[in-house]
């Protein structure tokens, strides 16, 4: 199935190389598709690493091993396989990952635990060890590639390569973050999974990097949804080579830590938005801003209930200012809400306030807003100071076409 | 938008009248649709009533009032308005419901609290009091109608009228349960809502009737999903006139109580299945049977995670035995599961056992099963004795067409 480039796609940004990071790609041939499908990124010795992983309890061996590996805090290489997720493959799948780790560790002369592996694609088929072995051998001898080539190679059903950059000043040193991601549904287990990687030349202690990544994740990747289905392989890793030469960041007391945290949050937000922009069948990018909740976490849950509602998402696809469906979704979230304090708006215009449709509601500017491709939904609960913003896309015929008409 | 009759529709059953229950219909004209849209059911004095209602916190005044009314346990009349849900209409909506209750109570000479009102249709428009008043006046003078006419009149986007019957022997008395329901998505707030009514001539104490209805609800209506969206108006009421003359049932110690409970469960299950069979865009009826969970409630949650997964539902629509998507859905349910003990099957054939794809898996009989219109998915968690069965339908282009292409 050839997928058209998403109408919400953004051009790939100018992405600088990061000192201590060398990406390469090769053809392992995990599928019969005549394209590169193995990405190998070599990282300078001593690179700090942090990670966040899917909470799906049926996760892949890659995720299980990755969770253990980030605890040690150091990385020397990353391998990403596209075309086979290696999930639900039991001991044979785990052996395939360990074989990759051994092969790369022997080449680099580093501990096996410093080699990180991710896989994305079909479920239930053990990753073929021979193809992986030959693919890695080819990658080790390949020339360095561009970020755009690496971003394209980790993709599966993605319709455009996705990258983001940010910079921060630490003391008198400017550090750079270059990041890539793949994902097109939050998941389609035989086709897609969200995998994201942030590379920076900043010097950051692993424990602090983990804290910053976890915090950024809560307000970015954990605030997007395409179809409410959570992958068995979702992974975001951050690598900090330290080659920029700044005084290493270990806590928020260190000068520049706030700036670095902001830059990390910025690239994570950009990557999260890019995944939504490539959501399966997406024609509209939707932001749901929830205010007045009893807490930020409560606001996030209300926002996700709205963003996951198929009836809200089809209404937006139909350019219908159907605020009744938003009311319904708020009410089913299981969070504190009071029907008679609830306000709903689209594109900066309230349609209902304090539990009643607006008496002088003018539909024209709202209808105009809904004809666009960037949709803003506002929900004010009128209860407290909790707020959150979540992002999703509309639910269209193409989502059904991609997931029902296509046979794996 | 004219909707075709669901391919999963069943013929309306031969439904006997129930002593002490007289249904009538009239045209209130809530919409400009030239059909009856107000149903009035007169119930014998002293009829016991029980009810279960939506947990959506943005519920309608009808639901708020109904919750209070069932506590008193007695009903004398039921009014169902189709075409306007009267939800999210504040004090004006509540006044409209109270006006109906007053009008009917004055006619019958009974307390206002014995008049039950339900409404279904567009959200955010207060029910027009004048239309309701004239409609009720017409209904009070109309001839009694058939169950099929009543079932058709409570419907909105339903594509076929839905009824169910069951009988039970209590002592030497045979009692009858005749029941009707409407619903086509679990919700589409501007069009549809699930409303169900069970009428029986059995004599049952209100508190016991409530207990039996709540228990039946847990294993029937609470185990179906069309699109995961929970209505602001969902209501199921059971009315027992006592006209059969059996010794009143007050507990499971009374002879015949088990038989009556089984019959009540039977009609509730039939009604629940009929709603799924009229699910928006449904082409396949799907049963998800979960075994081996740590508890029945845990099994139900796992089953609903599978039944609500858009990727599972689109796979079934595409007749694709995509058990990887079932694994994903089990894993995201938030319930105990062990990837390496999990087994998945379709139509009585296992495709994966104990965390591994079956080595000698024969796809032919599974593919044959998936081409049918009644699909069985089996999930065995291998952990305990908890079990549950849930029902849903597939997710097709027609769901998008009904909810996105249609403008309210």
Q: For the residues B282-309, what does the mean pLDDT come to?
A: 95
Q: For the residues B228-250, what does the mean pLDDT come to?
A: 88
Looking at the complex, does the CB of residue A304 fall below 8 Å from at least one CB of chain B? no
Q: For the residues A399-404, what does the mean pLDDT come to?
A: 84
Residue A233 predicted with pLDDT over 80: no
pTM for this model (two decimals):
0.85
Looking at the complex, does the CB of residue A16 fall below 8 Å from at least one CB of chain B? no
Tell me the two tokens of residue A98: 């360990």
Would strands A38-53 and A74-84 be described as parallel, antiparallel, or unpaired? antiparallel
Would strands B38-53 and B235-240 be described as parallel, antiparallel, or unpaired? antiparallel
Closest Cβ opposite residue B331 in set A58, A315, A325: A58
According to the model, what pLDDT value does residue A190 have?
A: 44
Burial B287-323 (b: 16+ CB within 10 A, else e): bbbbbbbbbbebbbbbbbbbbbbbbbbbbbbbbbbbb
Tens of pLDDT along A106-148?
999 999 999 999 999 888 889 999 999 999 999 999 999 999 9
Are the beta carbons of B351 and B345 closer than 8 angstroms? yes
Closest Cβ opposite residue B314 in set A189, A352, A403: A403
Are the beta carbons of B365 and B261 closer than 8 angstroms? no
- Does the interface predicted TM-score (ipTM) exceed 0.90? no
Q: For the residues B75-91, what does the mean pLDDT come to?
A: 92
- On average, the pLDDT of chain A sits at 91
Are the beta carbons of A162 and A8 closer than 8 angstroms? no
Q: In B109-154, which residue ranges form alpha helices assigned H by DSSP? A: 129-141, 147-153
State whether the Cα torsion B148-B151-B157-B158 is positive or negative.
negative
Q: How confident is the model at residue A380 (pLDDT cuts 50, 70, 90)?
A: very high
Task: Report the percentage of chain B scoring pLDDT > 90.
Answer: 71
DSSP characters over A289-323: EEEEESSHHHHHHHHHHHHH-HHHHHHHHTT---H
Active site residue A113: no
According to the model, what pLDDT value does residue B2 have?
A: 66
Out of A152-161, B168-177, B185-194, which region has the weakest mean confidence (pLDDT)?
B185-194
Closest Cβ opposite residue A310 in set B88, B228, B315: B228
- Report d(CA B271, CA B280) in Å as an integer: 16
Q: How confident is the model at residue A183 (pLDDT cuts 50, 70, 90)?
A: confident
Question: Quick check: helix, strand or coil at residue A132?
Answer: helix
Place of tokens 């922009």: A277
Q: How far is CA A389 from the centre of its chain?
A: 16
Residue B172 predicted with pLDDT over 70: yes
Give me the torsion for CA of B144, B32, B88, B121, rounded to 10°.
60
Cβ-count burial of A2 within 10 angstroms (0-12 exposed, 13-18 middle, 19+ buried)?
Answer: exposed
- Report d(CA B126, CA A394) in Å as an integer: 29
**Contact residues on chain B for A90, CB-CB shorter than 8 A:** 340, 355-356
Q: Which residue, A310, A305, A307, A288, is CA-closest to A388?
A: A288
**Contact residues on chain A for B401, CB-CB shorter than 8 A:** 397
DSSP assignment, residue B405? I
Q: In B253-295, which residue ranges form alpha helices assigned H by DSSP? A: 257-277
According to the model, what pLDDT value does residue B408 have?
A: 46
According to the model, what pLDDT value does residue B193 have?
A: 63
- Report d(CA A56, CA B329) in Å as an integer: 9
User: CB under 8 Å to B397, separation ≥6 — which residues?
Assistant: A397, A400, A401, A404, B281
- On average, the pLDDT of chain B sits at 91
Chain A's closest residue to B89, CA to CA, is: A356
Task: Report the percentage of chain A scoring pLDDT > 90.
Answer: 70
Query: Which of A24-33, A211-220, B230-239 has the highest average model confidence (pLDDT)?
Result: A24-33
Residue A188 predicted with pLDDT over 50: no
Question: CA of B337, closest CA in chain A: separation in Å?
Answer: 7
According to the model, what pLDDT value does residue B297 have?
A: 93
Residue B191 predicted with pLDDT over 50: no
Exactly one of A157, A159, A176, A193 is catalytic; which is it? A193
Residue B101 predicted with pLDDT over 80: yes
């Amino acid at each position: 199935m050839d997928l058209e480039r998403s109408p919400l796609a953004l051009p790939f940004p100018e992405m600088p190389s990061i000192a201590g990071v060398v990406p390469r790609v090769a053809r392992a041939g995990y599928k019969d598709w005549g394209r590169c499908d193995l990405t190998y990124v070599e990282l300078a010795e001593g690179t700090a690493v942090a990670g966040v992983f899917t909470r799906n309890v049926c996760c892949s061996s890659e995720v299980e091993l990755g969770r253990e590996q980030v605890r040690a805090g150091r990385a020397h290489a990353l391998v990403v396989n596209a075309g086979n997720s290696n999930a639900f493959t039991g001991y044979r799948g785990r052996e395939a990952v360990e074989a990759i780790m051994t092969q790369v560790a022997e080449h680099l002369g580093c501990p096996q635990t410093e080699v990180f592996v991710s896989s994305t694609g079909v479920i239930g088929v053990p990753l073929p060890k021979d193809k992986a072995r030959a693919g890695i051998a080819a990658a080790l001898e390949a020339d360095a590639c561009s970020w755009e080539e690496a971003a394209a190679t980790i993709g599966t059903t993605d319709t455009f390569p996705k990258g983001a950059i940010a910079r921060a000043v630490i003391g008198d040193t400017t550090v750079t973050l270059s990041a890539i991601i793949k994902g097109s549904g939050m998941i389609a287990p035989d086709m897609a999974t969200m995998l994201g990687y942030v590379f920076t030349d900043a010097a950051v202690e692993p424990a602090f990097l983990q804290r910053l990544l976890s915090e950024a994740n809560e307000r970015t990747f954990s605030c997007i949804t395409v179809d409410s289905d959570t992958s068995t392989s979702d992974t975001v890793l951050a690598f900090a080579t330290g080659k920029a030469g700044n005084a290493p960041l270990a806590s928020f007391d260190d000068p520049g830590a706030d700036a670095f945290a902001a830059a990390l949050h910025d690239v994570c937000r950009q990557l999260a938005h890019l995944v939504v922009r490539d959501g399966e069948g997406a024609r509209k990018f939707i932001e749901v801003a929830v205010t007045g909740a009893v807490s930020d976490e409560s606001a996030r849950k209300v926002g996700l209930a709205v963003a996951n509602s198929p009836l809200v998402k089809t209404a937006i696809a139909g350019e219908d200012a159907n605020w009744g469906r938003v009311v319904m979704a708020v009410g089913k979230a299981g969070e504190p809400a009071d029907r008679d304090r609830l306000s709903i708006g689209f594109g900066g215009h309230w349609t209902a306030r304090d539990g009643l449709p607006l008496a002088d509601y003018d539909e024209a500017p709202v209808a105009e807003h809904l004809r666009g491709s960037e949709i803003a939904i506002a929900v004010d609960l009128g209860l407290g100071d909790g707020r959150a913003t979540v992002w999703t896309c509309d639910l269209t015929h193409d989502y059904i076409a991609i997931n029902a008409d296509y046979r794996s």
